[in-house]
Amino acid sequence: MIQVAGLTKTFRDKSRGLRAVVDRISFEVSDGEIFGLLGPNGAGKTTTLRMLATLLKPTSGRALVGGHEVTAEPAAVRRMIGFLSGDMGLYHRLTPREILRVFGRLNGLGEQPLCARIEEVVALLQMHDFADTKVDQLSTGMRQRTALARTLLHDPPVLILDEPTSGLDVPTARVIEEFILQARRSGKCILYSTHVMEEAEFLCDRIAVINEGCIRITGTMSELKAATGRERLREIFLDLLDGQAEKAATK
Amino acid sequence: MNLKLVAAIYAKEMLDMFRDRRSLISMIVVPVIAMPGIFAVVHYFTVSLGKKALEESSRIGITARVSEPGVRDALKITGFELVPKPDARAAVESKAVAAALDEETAADSSGRIVIFVDRTREASSIAGQKIESLLERLKLNRVKTSLRGMGVSERVLEPFQVKSTNVAADKKMAGFILGSILGYAVLLLMFTGGMYPAIDMTAGEKERHTLEPLLASPASREEIVLGKIFASTTACILTAMLTIASLLVAIQRLGMGQSGEGLEHLVSRAGPDAVTVALILLTLVPTALFAASVMIAVAIFARGFKEAQSLLTPVVMAVVVPAVVGMLPGLELNVGLALIPVFNVSQLIKEIIIGEYSRINFLTAFASNVLYALVAFWISVRIFKTESVLFRS
């Protein structure tokens, strides 16, 4: 459902000149799969997700989402995705129900099906108690559930989730994780960005470790273990980063 | 272009806008409360200071040297309180009296009455004018008496009469005074009224990180920008309507102080009718669209709310210049001038209120403002498609 080949994004930086933030990355994500993009801050995860959500245009390479090319058919891509940014991006003066109504309309849901769907999502994410309270009065957990509800409202086949449990307490993070697992069971293609090792290990079917814009390794947990000889994802991850640092030092 | 998506964005922006305190203050509170408030304060000070100046003007100084017959009596009869002062100039300078009279001998040995006034003080100016006019009448009466004594008719002093007639109807007079203020105030407040909503729905969204989910929705950049521009335009038009209404009410109730004495009666008798107000609003629609597009285009450049305020303040200041020029008397709109944005509306409002606007000028101004709005919209969309602007931090 997501096919990425040689995707590159360069930015012109005043101090550093032309810089590849994402450098020729390639991966595929199938339906019913959670693919984790694991990397430290500034590794290129968010830029990758933004390119797949058609917010940024790739400098080169190719990316297909649900069979649609992100540069050639951005509108078709946006109709297929549910995008959750790391900052949640909720309107603080609106209530969760109002936000859902706005995004339901933007996704082309008619008024009656929209009302029914809002009730469904509100019930599913246990939002009844705060669905009519303005977002600026909600806790981080409630906000994240609202953001997730907005992402899932139109039942998109592809979910692009950028650190959805960031800043959440353990029980709320657990609710979100359960929901993502349920989405996988219903056959959705999920691209999941995180820098939390335990979460990636628990949720993802396959993981790609990304650093300095390049994918260092891709595979299932057992494939990663076999390739690196390490047992824990944290060790694999740190080894890869250390290797990078050593290479940089010898250069 | 999917208009349903534009409508969805518009509805969201309107809901958000009416819950934003800053937007409500600039859109509603300023025109509804501040404008009549300014008029009330000006009215209060003008009336009370005028009254005080009138009272003070009746107290004048007079030196013992003033011996011209009839002068003292005439001053007393007119209501002046005569205060004996040895030095007339010093008495006025020390503000002991509003004005003072002294007498000296002229070169031809005749008496010359000198009036001392301080033109920086209103009471002194009023007193000086009243004394001058009184002494002129006194002089004229003396001449008439002398002529009668010589058997000459008084009419020799006035061989013919002069009468000035104002051909301008009440509506035109009210429009002349109202139009110059209204155009300026409405344009200025319209821009400031649309400024905060424009900032909030662009730079504000960037700052709160709400733009990303919107950009990732099926709505295209054009649809997003159009929804936002329509919402900001609504804010501009709402501000303009409230400004017009509150200005008319304020002037009808309070007038404009001494300089516009009687204006409140003039406006209530011959103020703009519903058709005139509708025509003014119609003139303002493309300008509001233009204002909203420009402000959206500028504000999206900013990283956050404060930066957007700094960027938009010069834009609002720039509106003042053509709006003020439009207030100047003597300027008449022609097809060429009708192409200048903001100025054309300021001038057109004046002409509509007077009731003497040209249809060609109206259409030229309307069409050019629509064109400018379209250009500004196109630029806004271009900017909304520029990654470096949308995602710079």
pLDDT tens, residue by residue, B171-206: 677 777 777 777 778 888 888 888 999 999 999 998
| Lowest mean pLDDT, pick from A62-71, A142-151, A211-220, B265-274 | B265-274
Q: How far apart are CA B375 and CA B380, in angstroms?
A: 9
Nearest CB partner across the interface for A87, out of B209, B217, B218:
B209
What's the CATH code of the domain at A41?
3.40.50.300
Does ipTM surpass 0.85 in this model? Answer: yes
- What lies within 8 Å, CB to CB, of B326 at 6+ separation is B180, B183, B184, B342, B343, B345, B346, B347, B349, B350
Indicate the angle between helix axes B221-254 and B359-384, nearest 10 degrees. 140
A230 touches chain B (CB under 8 A): no
Write down the pLDDT at residue A179.
86
pLDDT-derived band of residue B392, with 50, 70 and 90 as boundaries? low
A81 touches chain B (CB under 8 A): yes
In sign, the C-alpha dihedral spanning B164, B165, B168, B169 is positive
Nearest CB partner across the interface for A94, out of B7, B16, B219:
B16
B231 touches chain A (CB under 8 A): no
Cβ contact, residue pair A55, B216, below 8 Å:
yes
Asked if residue A251 has pLDDT above 50, the reply is: no
B334 touches chain A (CB under 8 A): no
Nearest to B224 by CA among B384, B370, B20: B384
Cβ contact, residue pair B216, A53, below 8 Å:
yes
How many folded domains does chain A comprise? 1
| Lowest mean pLDDT, pick from A136-145, A226-235, B92-101, B279-288 | A226-235
Cβ contact, residue pair B216, A87, below 8 Å:
no
Write down the pLDDT at residue B217.
92
Picking from A13, A50, A90, A106 by the largest number of B CB atoms within 10 A of its own CB, the best residue to mutate is A106
Of the CA atoms within 13 Å of residue B255, those in its CB half-sphere come to 16
Q: What is the pTM of this model?
A: 0.81
Cβ contact, residue pair B209, A83, below 8 Å:
no
Domain span at A58: 2-250
Cβ contact, residue pair A75, B218, below 8 Å:
yes
Domains and CATH numbers, chain B: 3-43+170-390 (no CATH), 52-156 (3.40.190)
- DSSP strand pairing (A34-38 vs A158-162): unpaired
Cβ contact, residue pair A107, B11, below 8 Å:
no
Write down the pLDDT at residue B254.
64
Cβ contact, residue pair A105, B20, below 8 Å:
no
- What lies within 8 Å, CB to CB, of B138 at 6+ separation is B70, B71, B74
Q: How far apart are CA B62 and CA B84, in angstroms?
A: 5
In B201-220, which residue ranges form alpha helices assigned H by DSSP?
203-208, 211-215
**A175 to chain B, minimum CA–CA distance in Å?**
22
Beta strands in chain B, from DSSP E residues, in sequence order = 59-62, 81-84, 99-105, 111-116
Q: How far apart are CA B299 and CA B302, in angstroms?
A: 6
More confident residue, B316 or B10: B10
Q: How far apart are CA B216 and CA B287, in angstroms?
A: 31
Taking 3-state DSSP, the helix, strand and coil percentages for chain B, each rounded to the nearest 5, stand at: 70, 5, 25
Asked if residue B301 has pLDDT above 60, the reply is: yes
Structure-token pair, residue B225: 């920008």
Q: How far apart are CA A65 and CA A52, in angstroms?
A: 7
Q: Which residues of A touch B387 (CB under 8 A)?
A: 55-57
pLDDT-derived band of residue A168, with 50, 70 and 90 as boundaries? confident
Q: Which residues of A touch B6 (CB under 8 A)?
A: none
For A48-88, the pLDDT digits (tens) are 999 999 999 999 999 999 889 999 999 999 999 999 887 78
Cβ contact, residue pair A94, B218, below 8 Å:
no
Q: How far apart are CA A146 and CA A155, in angstroms?
A: 15
**A69 to chain B, minimum CA–CA distance in Å?**
15
| Lowest mean pLDDT, pick from A211-215, B293-297, B328-332, B378-382 | B328-332
Mean pLDDT of the A149-171 span = 87
Structure-token pair, residue B23: 């937007």
Nearest to B215 by CA among B18, B387, B2: B387
